[in-house]
Amino acid sequence: MTAQRDRRNFLKTTALGATVLTFGTRISSAQNSESPVTANGGTDPYPIPWLDKNGSHNQPAGLNLEPSHIFHFKGRVARCSTFTGMGTDNQGNRIPFGSPTTDYGAMQGEYWAARSAQQGAFTHI
């Protein structure tokens, strides 16, 4: 919910921001062309570069497959897949969950981003 709205709002903001930024950049360039800037990239982790068979960065789980979903990482991981279980919806219907692609992962430790070591915990859900 929030993520979707946030993303939508972010995209709108980015579109407007880009227009303003382009204009603003010209002004600031004219005023001061030597202003310092940060250009090390964001602190979000990198995805695993290898593509799965669907052409995405979604790592399947299994023996001899990489448990982590983030690259340039060292730390603790946990991985699982092929869940089965049952549950009940708000109408009282019994609905099972799980499939061979129902997989989860957890990662906690050091990763490399923005040209420096970062600490964090992440999950693939």
Partner 1 sequence: MAPANQIHDFHPPISPSGLYWVVPVASDGLRFSDDGKTVTLEMKDVPVVDQPRWPALDSVATPARMTFKMVWKSTGEAVVFDDPGKQFRFTGTRASCQLQAKVEVPSIGFSWRSDDIETSKADFAVMGEEVNGRYYK
Residues that bind partner 1 (CB under 8 A): 1-7, 42, 44-48, 50, 54, 56-59, 61-90, 95, 97-99, 101, 104, 106-108, 110, 112, 120-125
Cβ(78)–Cβ(67) under 8 Å? yes
Handedness of CA 68, 116, 14, 4 (dihedral sign): positive
Query: For residues 9 and 28, which CB has a smaller minimum distance to partner 1 in the complex?
Result: 9
For the bound state, the minimum distance from the C-beta of residue 36 to partner 1, rounded and expressed in Å, comes to 25
Q: Pick the closest to residue 120 from 89, 76, 80, 87 (CA basis).
A: 76
Cβ(119)–Cβ(91) under 8 Å? no
Cβ within 8 Å of residue 78, ≥6 positions away: 67, 105, 106
Other residues' Cβ atoms within 10 Å of the Cβ of residue 111: 21
For the bound state, the minimum distance from the C-beta of residue 30 to partner 1, rounded and expressed in Å, comes to 31
Query: For residues 34 and 89, which CB has a smaller minimum distance to partner 1 in the complex?
Result: 89
For the bound state, the minimum distance from the C-beta of residue 22 to partner 1, rounded and expressed in Å, comes to 20
For the bound state, the minimum distance from the C-beta of residue 25 to partner 1, rounded and expressed in Å, comes to 21
Query: For residues 17 and 23, which CB has a smaller minimum distance to partner 1 in the complex?
Result: 17
